Chain A
């Protein structure tokens, strides 16, 4: 009986420890940046919506998106494909200012150096069919095999 009681006490203590551990891990981050993660769907949604609507703010929007990729890259993986699509769409549609072009180049560099190559290649390959090709293009698999 005493053994059982001790066992239950021990179990209670373990449960309490687990609860405290869980509570601590909820506030795992000692910096503010990663605490933005829960808001990412909302934030990226607004950025993607407004990128073509607010042409004057494209540089700011892209810089912010770049900062997210730099700061919390693993949480930005689901948005890489959409980000590339945004770049390609805007490149084909508008005549670009030089500073926006520079921001775009910087954005691509940041994404490729922070996000895994697999994700980047996968996201880029999904864009192939969305891009308007002026000239006749070779089959993608040919290109890869030639290399």
Chain B
């Protein structure tokens, strides 16, 4: 199974193999074209035929690797990051590109077993693309909060994903990313808390040290909300 995506973003960039001459496009026309491409991509990736193809590939025992999907996820996140330059995570301005990318990523991840999702996040974080980390973990959390009952990898993959979030909170370099990671832990705990008590217990001291004692107001607030949601599990 091979999945590639090519989205033109800059007229000066190399566009070999692209069926249109985008060199003559204005920035405005290119943005509009980019949105149309994303619209098609999000429709294809969230379509039943794509989901069915992914399911069939796994059922038939094809040699599917998380690497097959990692590059697509990275490209989509890159497009999203480009579209929100100058906008912070706390701004609530609607961003159509970001929404389309989220739909596309949701489409890819919803067809994959949780272990693959966790591996994709791991691969992504290893490359240290910090400006896209928040969106990556947020979308992966969306997937983790909708587990398939037959997915036998759930417990191990939740533990792996939690350890990634744990590292982000402990690191605490980017407050906005730390805040999103805390929100992800809170959401995960609602769905997987009871089945993974030990894994969630391990993250509690990190939330206190890296979150509650943080100097950033938003991080402190998210830590409180995270601990509050975990308190009722």
Interface residues of A (CB under 8 A from B): 27, 30-33, 35-36, 39, 42-43, 46, 50, 54, 56-57, 60-61, 63-64, 67-68, 71
Contacts and interface: CB of A to CB of B under 8 A. Distances in A.
B224 A71 contact: no
B204 A36 contact: yes
A30 B194 CA distance: 8
B220 A54 contact: yes
Leading 9 A-B pairs by shortest Cβ distance: A32-B233, A33-B231, A35-B201, A46-B212, A64-B224, A60-B224, A42-B208, A71-B231, A64-B228
B231 to A, nearest CB: 5
A57 B223 CA distance: 12
Contacts of A42: 208-209, 212-213
Nearest to B231: A33
Given A32-B189, A43-B212, A57-B224, 7 more contacts: A27-B197, A35-B204, A39-B204, A42-B209, A42-B212, A57-B220, A71-B232
A48 B209 CA distance: 16
Interface of A is mostly: helix
Interface string B194-230: 1001101100110011001100010011001101101
A64 B232 CA distance: 11
Nearest to B196: A32
A67 B231 contact: yes
Given A43-B208, A46-B208, A68-B231, A57 B217 contact: yes
A63 B201 CA distance: 22
Nearest to B213: A46
Nearest to A61: B224
Interface of B is mostly: helix
Contacts of B175: none
Contacts of B200: 32
A117 B85 CA distance: 57
A42 B189 CA distance: 21
B107 interface: no
Contacts of B209: 42
30 contacts: A27-B198, A31-B197, A31-B233, A32-B194, A32-B197, A32-B200, A32-B201, A32-B230, A33-B230, A33-B232, A33-B233, A35-B197, A35-B204, A36-B230, A39-B204, A39-B205, A42-B208, A43-B208, A43-B227, A54-B220, A56-B217, A57-B220, A57-B221, A57-B224, A60-B225, A61-B224, A67-B231, A67-B232, A68-B231, A71-B232
A35 to B, nearest CB: 5
A56 B221 CA distance: 10
B227 A60 contact: no
A87 B231 CA distance: 23
A68 B230 CA distance: 11
Contacts of B205: 39
Contacts of A67: 228, 231-232
B102 to A, nearest CB: 28
